[in-house]
Chains A and B, each alone.
Chain A
Amino acid sequence: MPLNCARCQAPLPNYFFIATHLMPCPSCGTEIKVHAFPALFRTQPAPVVGELSVAGEAGCFYHPDKRAIVTCHLCGRFLCALCNIDFKQQNWCPGCLESSSRKRKGIDFENHRVLYDSVALGFATLPFLVFFYPALIGAPAALYISVRYWKAPGSIVPRTKIRFLVAILLAIGQLVLMGWLIYAIARAPRRA
């Protein structure tokens, strides 16, 4: 892929790759700075086809007529050059990679997570702050989510459980306040 101007899509001249400050794009004049790396100039390898196996040689599990060159690090199947997937500096067969991705084995396969601590905190704060009375539903919901998903995996980047704790404390506080209000309203006619 050539390196293009982010605004006008015109290819950038090579002097952009060694420039140390912002330079105007020759086409649109937008000031741009490029930090290029050798991968930009790497020639794309030719499509891998896999060599045919001759009599007596081990064949690929998926393509028996192709010569096996490596084994899958997980299942040990013989793989030809076409089936070998180099991932995390290990040799994977397509089946193991797909299976690991589906079962989310290891955080390197995950591309989405729900932040239950933020959901609980949202239930504990937003209904109370915005309209007050929906907190009757929001506070128990925050408590339930906090307890139910306390041990669920959170973000894959560093994150504490402080949101869960705050959500629990706020929810309990709101429930106590609501209970007190209900009690006060119930007691009011008797006083009169």
Chain B
Amino acid sequence: MKWRSQRRYRRLPGRPFNAMSRDSLWLAEDHLLSVQSNRFSETYRRYYFRDIQAFTIQRTAPISPWTYAAGAVAAAFLAPGALFEYQETFLWISGGLFLAITLALIGLGPTCACYIQTAVSRDRLGSLRWIRTAEKAVSILQPGIEQVQGALSPELAALPSEPPPIQVPAIQPPPLPGVKQPETGRGYEFLFVVLLLDSLQSYLSLSHHGTALDVAGWTILITEVACIPWLLIRQRRFEVPRSIRVIVILALVVTAGFTYVVYVLSTVARQVKPGTVTYPGYAPLHVTAVAVYGVLGIAGLGLMTRHRQSLRRPPPVPSPQ
């Protein structure tokens, strides 16, 4: 029985924060292997050391956008835990967990986009999302590349690169103010994961009742209510595919509709029979919520993954003319 693949590759630091895909970098004797995985299949791309021209690390944000999300969820758990006296243990443990995640994300430092350039391509390395990680990975790669190409001397660095940049305008104008920038999609992915959680919570509500589920439901609802308008506002500045915009609007409509219907039905049920947990149409409504939120979440994550893959394609190179 062969338990392990050939130990030909060594893993480099870097792990993306993505639910649907997983990119990684592997070091071989003479090349760098970039693995893009959608969990069920892998696509490989090899960059041979003799062909690698440069790594470009571009700082993107002081901390990861996920830090804000984790901090908000931690606050959503800790605030009721501090103010009220029911389910304190659950709220404190959950809040502490998300607080630890928040602190860990803060500790990782500023985020970045890392690109690898060869003579014919420039690709984004999706697994290198923090500057510290990118620097560490490049420092591991550097000796191997320098062994093949030699070290870069300051005299060589002073030479103009090929093709000569004489015909290229020295400085290109920045993007026009009215032009939207491409959306990286972290916020959208977060919303779609929350929709999936909503689906799961609705499913569990079919067979279980209790304060923990209620708190989870309210946390999810508050997160959705905060997240959707924020994303709709961001759409004025950042370009996203039309299909994703439609899903966000559908999520808003569905959330508002379900909340309204549930509120009306539960109020009526309590008036008729005080202390009741369920209401007429409880099961069909929750089954519908499971299906709708599940479909919206999965479709959104799939579309977002496709959009992110399209963003990773090499940007157009300005023509010498």
Q: A168: shortest Cβ distance to chain B, in Å?
A: 14
Number of residue pairs spanning A and B whose beta carbons lie under 8 angstroms apart = 176
Task: Tell me the bound Cα distance from A159 to B35 in angstroms.
Answer: 13
**Which residue of chain B is the closest to A119 with respect to CB atoms?**
B40
Is A8 among interface residues, defined by CB-CB distance under 8 A? yes
Chain B interface category by residue count:
35 or more
Is A115 among interface residues, defined by CB-CB distance under 8 A? yes
Q: A83: shortest Cβ distance to chain B, in Å?
A: 21
A3 touches B117 (CB 8 A): yes
Task: Tell me the bound Cα distance from A115 to B7 in angstroms.
Answer: 18
Task: Tell me the bound Cα distance from A157 to B172 in angstroms.
Answer: 41
Q: Which of B49-57, B217-225, B269-277 contacts A (4 or more CB under 8 A)?
A: B49-57
Given A11-B165, A154-B5, A37-B52 contact (CB < 8 Å): yes
| A10 neighbours in B (Cβ, 8 Å) | 171-172
Q: Which of A21-29, A93-101, A170-178 contacts B (4 or more CB under 8 A)?
A: A21-29
* A-B pairs with lowest CB-CB distance, top 6: A40-B53, A31-B59, A17-B157, A35-B55, A10-B172, A36-B54
| B152 neighbours in A (Cβ, 8 Å) | 17-18, 36-38
Q: Which of B142-150, B227-235, B241-249, B258-266 contacts A (4 or more CB under 8 A)?
A: B142-150
Q: A120: shortest Cβ distance to chain B, in Å?
A: 10
Q: B149: shortest Cβ distance to chain A, in Å?
A: 5
**Which residue of chain B is the closest to A42 with respect to CB atoms?**
B162
Given A6-B56, A6-B58, A42-B162, A157-B11 contact (CB < 8 Å): yes
Partner of A33, one of B8, B57, B119: B57
Of residues 128 to 162 in A, which have CB atoms within 8 Å of B's CB atoms? 130, 154-161
Task: Tell me the bound Cα distance from A43 to B8 in angstroms.
Answer: 32
Is A1 among interface residues, defined by CB-CB distance under 8 A? yes
Task: Tell me the bound Cα distance from A156 to B41 in angstroms.
Answer: 11
Task: Tell me the bound Cα distance from A77 to B171 in angstroms.
Answer: 51
Residues of A within 8 A of B (CB): 1-11, 14, 17-18, 22, 26-28, 30-44, 88, 107-108, 110-115, 118-119, 122, 130, 154-161
Task: Tell me the bound Cα distance from A44 to B145 in angstroms.
Answer: 19
**Which residue of chain A is the closest to B163 with respect to CB atoms?**
A2
B54 touches A37 (CB 8 A): yes
Task: Tell me the bound Cα distance from A100 to B88 in angstroms.
Answer: 64
Given A36-B53, A39-B149, A111-B44 contact (CB < 8 Å): yes
**Which residue of chain A is the closest to B181 with respect to CB atoms?**
A7
30 contacting pairs across A/B (C-beta < 8 A): A1-B117, A1-B163, A2-B161, A3-B161, A5-B58, A6-B58, A6-B115, A9-B172, A11-B168, A14-B159, A17-B157, A22-B57, A22-B59, A22-B131, A26-B171, A31-B58, A32-B58, A32-B59, A35-B57, A36-B152, A38-B156, A39-B51, A40-B161, A44-B162, A111-B43, A113-B41, A115-B41, A158-B7, A158-B11, A161-B3
